[in-house]
Amino acid sequence: MSNTFITPGPGSEPSGGGDAMQGPDNLFTVVERREISDDLAVAAEAWLARHGLPPEVDGRWLELVCEDGDLFTPDKLMLHLAVPPCEVAPGDSVHVGRTQTVGELWPDPDAPPDEVPRYLVFARTFERRGDAWVGACELPGPVRELFTVEHPDAMLSVMTATRRTLGRGAMCISGDPAGRLSFTLVDGEIAVWGSTEAQVPEAFSYWVNAGPAIALARPLQDATRVVGGLGGVPDIMITNDRGVEGRCPLDEERPAPVPLPEDYFENHAQGRVDRLRIDRQGGLGREALAAIAKLRPGDVTFAVADDGSLLIGGPDDPDEFKLDGPGFATLGGPPNTSIVVPYVVALAIHDGATGGTVDLEVDGQRGHLHRADLGVTVEWTR
């Protein structure tokens, strides 16, 4: 067998066996019972480590070679299932729908023709139920209920907008018993805030990595109700009314950024204040997005020309993109003043303008952006 080991990405976890399980009701037949191999043990332990769980696979564990009579056959592909010590025997039936795929091993090019790929699967629990064995690889359930959301579509829109604004960094998920579930995303000198309505039994605040947090979006899709909880891994877990679950491990705690006071630009501004409002039916359009994208990762300038059009360019870019008005206005500052913003803020402006009004304010030290469509706020240090 080859040493090439392929581990499934985050999209395959947890806790089903994956789309390759083609047997009826994921029912397989045990062909061989053997001591667990190093390859399967290492893959299973790696899965446990990724989820913050203690090691539990040792030399007493078994490796079951299984087939389903369709895709998983001795001449195509075989399922290799890691299970705890038990009395399972060749010929027994096994349900694998709740097990976890942990990797694949492929034969070397010069391997004997009877060697086929091995599909590596892990079951933390394995027990006899009636005429078959049932394997499962479930993560610890919730230890604390955090929130309930009756409008998951609104939660998905706000959470996606905050994540998409920066794309990386740390995200704080917090709840207020007054009825708000909030998302705060931080990357360097830029912070994003968004919130949605929720039932929150008691205040909480947990940090996650913005990248893995995309897994929390899955149960929000096509759902009518979701419940969020603190999992035992520990992690944040969200489950919808159809039983679909998403998880994201907790990250290290850190101080939460503090938004600027509401009267900051009126009473505490540092130097001149420049303001820009975008309220254009249909947003800025694809050509404006292309003009912004070509400036990545540099700063982007926005200015309203004398004829009411919007000019988009770079600080040293002579080829500005012009977007005809109406829908653009400066509020304070000299005419044609260019407002310079970070690239990710420019994308947030374009994104927010599609759904409603976008207000931009800057002084000599700070910048502030507010999207009326989702109530998302972005602030940064200049």
pLDDT in tens, 166-202: 988 999 999 999 999 999 999 999 999 999 999 999 9
246, amino acid identity: G
Determine which helix (DSSP H) or strand (DSSP E) holds 155, and give its type and residue range.
Answer: helix 152-166
Q: What is the mean pLDDT of the segment spanning 51-73?
A: 92
Does the CA dihedral 283-285-288-293 come out positive or negative? Answer: positive
What is the predicted pLDDT for the residue at 85?
Answer: 96
> What is the C-alpha to C-alpha distance for residues 171 and 26, in angstroms, rounded to an integer?
37
228: β partners: 147, 238
> What interhelical angle do 152-166 and 343-353 show, nearest 10?
150
* pLDDT above 60 (res 11): no
pLDDT 10s digits, 235-280: 999 999 998 999 999 999 999 999 999 999 999 999 999 999 999 9
What is the predicted pLDDT for the residue at 6?
Answer: 45
87, amino acid identity: E
pLDDT 10s digits, 66-90: 999 889 999 999 999 999 999 999 9
What is the predicted pLDDT for the residue at 140?
Answer: 82
> What is the C-alpha to C-alpha distance for residues 10 and 126, in angstroms, rounded to an integer?
24
> What is the C-alpha to C-alpha distance for residues 62 and 64, in angstroms, rounded to an integer?
6
Higher pLDDT, 351 or 26: 351
Q: What is the mean pLDDT of the chain?
A: 90
Cα angle for residues 3, 4, 8 (degrees, 5° grid): 130
Give the rounded percent of residues in the chain with a pLDDT score beyond 90.
Answer: 77
Q: Is the pTM of this model over 0.85?
A: no
What is the predicted pLDDT for the residue at 8?
Answer: 45
Phi/psi of residue 337, each to 5°? -70, 130
pLDDT 10s digits, 299-311: 999 999 999 999 9
Sheet holding 366-371, edge to edge: 204-209, 170-176, 180-187, 190-197, 377-381, 366-371, 358-362, 274-278, 328-330
* pLDDT above 50 (res 17): no
Q: What is the mean pLDDT of the segment spanning 364-373?
A: 97
**352, 354, 305, 295: which is closest to 328 by C-alpha?**
305
Domains in the chain, CATH or no CATH each: 5-136 (no CATH), 142-249 (3.10.150.10), 265-381 (3.10.150)
What is the predicted pLDDT for the residue at 50?
Answer: 82
What is the predicted pLDDT for the residue at 273?
Answer: 93
What is the predicted pLDDT for the residue at 236?
Answer: 95
SS3 36: coil
> What is the C-alpha to C-alpha distance for residues 135 and 63, in angstroms, rounded to an integer?
13
* pLDDT above 90 (res 226): yes
* pLDDT above 60 (res 21): no
pLDDT 10s digits, 324-353: 989 999 986 666 788 999 999 999 999 999
